[in-house]
Structures are given as structure tokens and as C-alpha cells.
Structure 1
């Protein structure tokens, strides 16, 4: 994995999934272990005991919040320092080298975020999280055999909405992509598009329309490298549904998406249709995205064919290339700004 990716924040678990036992996962080809210390705070380290390289995620967490190696019982505290080697007598000093490689770990929005290096930007913003008008529904994570770039581009691709998701996000008899602009600045892309979309019906009542279709304005914020905030505003009812979507890149060809479906309408309604709607879209997208070659989306724009309605993908690949080139500089010095118009 490119080194610039190690300077970014990634979701690696739902908070509710991390309880009293460690969890092992992969981030950017690095094995990582998550656990909660004695105060309940989430901790993370390279999933490798310094003694014999055993995966600590196969071990346990004791009542004091120390993680214990399953091979020899070595115990490590919240800082990663080894505090007990059972094979040694109590008076034997523990080498300073007997320590874990800790990883930056934060909990926000009910998610656990990790950064393998020095964070280059802040954790992406999810402004509705603290807004009492919104109700948040967490969807089941889904893992695809594809790159994180391909997964993200799929969620920003307007051209496939009516064709692949006919009757859900658009219609095959109306595939013209409306006019939109893409603004790129620092680590963000911003763009907006207004379109007529169908009501998915009584079985999936996720769109707050009164009729069979309605006017919807989608406002996107993409935080590089792999997070999307999408607000869908329904003109008919002046209400909104928000998708907050962030991707964990396990490796060059494997990624997991974590998604919230949030809404400011029907707060007491059954949440399952919103989850089912997202799962249905993902099931339609998955085989398509997993088939794409090369697995990594080429940052060289001459490697694939781009048309006018691909402006978001073009802007994203340009921004990723700039991120690669500027990752070692101070974020406040990154002042690039551009606009791309699509007709």
C-alpha cells in the first residue's frame, strides 16, 4: 500500500462490535488488534506479540483491560507495555523491547477509527450525528473483493444509478445525467445534483415522497481517501435522508464498507427497510465492482475512457494523486481548488 494512505483515518469496526474480547482485522495490509482497556476505551496495536509474533487477537482481555498473548500468557497494558511475563520470576526486569506497536485509535459516531501513521487530516465530519432531529441506523458491514477506490467510485457514479438500480435510484428510460459541478479543495470533493427519482414502493419506503416519484437534491462531500457524506433532500416533503459511508481498505483487493442511513422523518418507523434498501443496492453493485480491472482505479487518467458524466471520478482520481504528492506537507498549506462542470 502507498505510504500516504498510512496518514489517513479509517473506520475498522462498529463500536458495539468491540466488547470484552479482542478483535483482529487487516488495515492496509497490516494485521491489527482492537481491544478495550480497563476504562472501556478502545485501543489498537499491530496484531503481533513481540516475543514470537503470535496474533494477540487470538488471546483475551482480562478484568483490568490488559490484552494477553494466547501462546505464553504475556500481558500488555493500554499503552502496549508488557507488564507480566509469567515465565520469569517477579524480580526479573521486563525488557523495554517487550512492547506492542500501538496504533492511533479514536471512537466517533459509534465507529472505531484507526490511523497507522501521523494523521494528515481530521476524522471526516458527520454533522447530523449530534442533531436530535435525525435518527441513525447502522447497516451491516459488507466486504467486497475490490479496491477501496473502486468501492468509493461506485457510490459516486451517477451514470449507473438508473441502469443498474432501475426503479430504486433511477429509471432505464431516463439515463441522462443532470448538470453538476465538482469542487475540489484540500482533502475534499463537493458536488450537488438535482434529479427526479422513483419511489421504491411500500416494501422499501425509504424515500419521503407522496407520489410514485419526486424531485431530490443530492449533496455530496467526499473526504479523501474513502469517506462519503450524502444528503438527499426531498423537495416534496422538505425532509432529508443522509448516508454516511466509510471504507476500510484491508488490502489492494479487499475492502469493507460501513454505512449509516440517517433520516429526519418517520423517526418511529421500522428501521429494517432502510437497511434492506442499502443491502439490495450493495448486492446489485458487488459483482460489477468486483469484476473491474485493474483492481486499483488508475490515477493516470489516460488508462481508462472518461466521458462527461464521469467528472466526479476524474476529480476523485486527480485529488487522490494530489493527496499522494502532498501527504508529507502540512494540511493548512494544501490550498488547491478547482471546479469541474458536467452537462
Structure 2
């Protein structure tokens, strides 16, 4: 995979509760990675023993060190080999005997990995720490598509009335009013978008709710739903890990400040249904790579946020999961409108 800006971004690889005693193999941007936990915290290495190329994830954690299953070489948290059983007594361990170390953090109930040399800051999700709020994690969902297609689907308000009719929208209330998209504090954020909300789960009252979407990074977005005259607030954070070409894992954090005495499972089940309604559509999209040339597809004014997303990916030089604009086309479009809307 192309090493672009995404190498310095953080990618969620599993729920924190899933990483206990044994090391775990994960994939990030086509790289095979091993994560493990010890008394110092969580760690990520390239899943490759420098000795004979075995996967370190096949090994175990002993006294805080990651032990290779093949010849029992031991690597400490910094990736330094501290023990080679076959080495004669008194012989120094070669300095080259090191694991490739990646950045790793436990945050928001997830394990995050960063492959880059200049890691970007972790995204902020203040609702996770707020009192009188509850967050649950949905996923990981496996998707045979690229991360930009998945994020764009999440940001697409005009499909709710059809793909999720009767649950998140109503075909008789399909019009999307014009809304603003602004770039503030390093993220895109929309103005409030009124969306007709059916009473699908028995908890909502039905009628119009206000949706606000935000793009926090090329692979992380969120939306917040509120209703006029109510203090209830519902937020979803979606974070996509591009494991390899056309292969992703998606994590969703759902946060609410209401019905805190109610069980979480109905909320998780509802989100599962919504996600799998989207799955067939997202996996069917052609081309698989998201076109950054805005003349390649037709656009509506209701697509303002996804248009901003595509332009941003182009400006950042994101090539993983995208179809970049050819240099010649870029030159020809200078001074002209880059897309058509109706």
C-alpha cells in the first residue's frame, strides 16, 4: 500500500477488552502488526521476528517480554532483544536483533496503532468522559471496501430515507435542505440538517431531528443528533481501519445522555441492523477507489459534505482507497468549476 498521510494517523485495531494475556495479530494499511499488553501498557511491533521471519503474534508474553514461538527470542517493550536461548553463554546479543516498533495507545475503549514517524494527535471525543453520558462500542464490522467509501457513506444524509426507510428516514420526507460546511479547528462541520425521524425503536417520538456531521480525519467521522425542545443528545463516532486494499474493520462508538437506566443491547442491535443495511450498498460501489476528480460522478447540493471530503483527501494527498486526480486533468481544471451540482 502507498505510504501517504495515513501512516501518521491513528487506526483502531480492536476493542481494548480483547487484548488480555496473549499477543494479537492485526493489519493496518497492508502491514502485519502484533499488539500485546504488559505491565507498562499496550505495544505494537511489526509482526515479524528478525531471526527467521516468523510471526511474533504466534508467541506469548513472559515477564513483560514478547517471546517468539519459533526460537524463543525475547523482545522487551522497546523492541530490544534481551534473550536468545541458542546464543552461547557470555556472547553479546547483536544490536541488530530488534523488533520494528510502532506507536500504540489504549483510548476510548479501543487499541489504536500508528505506523508513522510523526504521529498526528489522537482525535478528541469528549463525550466519552462526560458525566451522565454512556458510550457503547459497536463492531468490529468487516467490510470488503476501502475506508473512504465507508466514511462517505456515513456522511451521506440523503440515503437515510431509502436504505434505512422506516428506521432513520422516510421516503415521503426525502428533501435535504441546503446546509453549510465549514472547516473549524482542523475538522469539517456542518450546520444543523433537519431529518425526519420515524419512531422505529419505540423510544423516539418521531418528527424532525437535527443532524450535525463532522469529519475529524480521513478515516474518522462523527455525527450528533438533537431535537428542538429536548436535552437529549445522541452521538456516533465512526473509526475505520484500512487493513488492506478493499478490506476494512469499522468501529462505532454510540454515546447517549438519556435512558441511562435502560440496557445497552437494544441500542447495539439497532446499530447492527443499520450497518448491515449499508453493507451491500457500500461493497457494491464502483469504482472501488473513491474518485477524487469531482467530474467523474454527478453531485447534488445535498452532497456538499462529501464533496468537501473528496476535496480534502485530494489536498492531503491521500492515495489509500482513492483514485487521485491525474496531473494533466488538474492542470486543465485550474480556474474552472471542479464539479457539477443540480
TM-score by length of 1: 0.89
Q: Which whole-Å deviations, capped at 9, do the CAs of 1:4-50 have from their partners, x for residues lacking one?
A: 211111111111111010110110000000001233x0000110000
Alignment map for 1:42-61 (pairs within 5 Å): 42-61=42-61
C-alpha contact (below 8 Å) 1:252/1:295 kept by paired residues: no
RMSD of aligned residue pairs (Cα, Å): 1.8
The aligned counterpart of 2:132 is 133
C-alpha contact (below 8 Å) 1:104/1:115 kept by paired residues: yes
The aligned counterpart of 2:238 is 245
Q: Secondary structure at the match of 1:61?
A: strand
C-alpha contact (below 8 Å) 1:25/1:33 kept by paired residues: yes
Q: Secondary structure at the match of 2:172?
A: coil
The offset of 1:181, in angstroms, is 1.1
Alignment map for 1:294-333 (pairs within 5 Å): 294-324=287-317
The aligned counterpart of 1:336 is none
C-alpha contact (below 8 Å) 2:170/2:196 kept by paired residues: no
What are structure 1's unaligned runs of at least 5 residues? 326-341
Structure-2 separation of matches of 1:89 and 1:305 = 68
The aligned counterpart of 1:332 is none
Q: Secondary structure at the match of 1:136?
A: strand
Structure-1 separation of matches of 2:139 and 2:9 = 23
The aligned counterpart of 1:335 is none
The aligned counterpart of 1:262 is 255
For the structure 1 residues 107 and 119, does the alpha-carbon distance in structure 2 shift closer, same or farther, using more than 3 Å as the test?
A: farther
Structure 1 stretches of 4+ with a deviation exceeding 6 A read none
Structure-1 separation of matches of 2:217 and 2:186 = 5
C-alpha contact (below 8 Å) 1:33/1:56 kept by paired residues: yes
C-alpha contact (below 8 Å) 1:214/1:235 kept by paired residues: no
Alignment map for 1:24-35 (pairs within 5 Å): 24-35=25-36
Structure-2 separation of matches of 1:279 and 1:27 = 24
Alignment map for 1:54-93 (pairs within 5 Å): 54-62=54-62, 64-93=63-92
C-alpha contact (below 8 Å) 1:184/1:319 kept by paired residues: no
Alignment map for 1:207-222 (pairs within 5 Å): 209=204, 211=205, 213-222=206-215
The offset of 1:184, in angstroms, is 2.8
Structure-1 separation of matches of 2:136 and 2:302 = 31
Aligned residues: 319
C-alpha contact (below 8 Å) 1:215/1:236 kept by paired residues: no
The offset of 1:68, in angstroms, is 0.9
For the structure 1 residues 298 and 185, does the alpha-carbon distance in structure 2 shift closer, same or farther, using more than 3 Å as the test?
A: farther
What are structure 2's unaligned runs of at least 5 residues? 319-340
The offset of 1:60, in angstroms, is 1.0
The offset of 1:216, in angstroms, is 1.2
C-alpha contact (below 8 Å) 1:188/1:223 kept by paired residues: yes
Alignment map for 1:172-211 (pairs within 5 Å): 172-185=171-184, 187-192=186-191, 193-202=193-202, 205=203, 209=204, 211=205
Q: Which whole-Å deviations, capped at 9, do the CAs of 1:264-302 have from their partners, x for residues lacking one?
A: 001010111110111001111101100111111111112
* 2:21 is the alignment partner of 1:20: yes
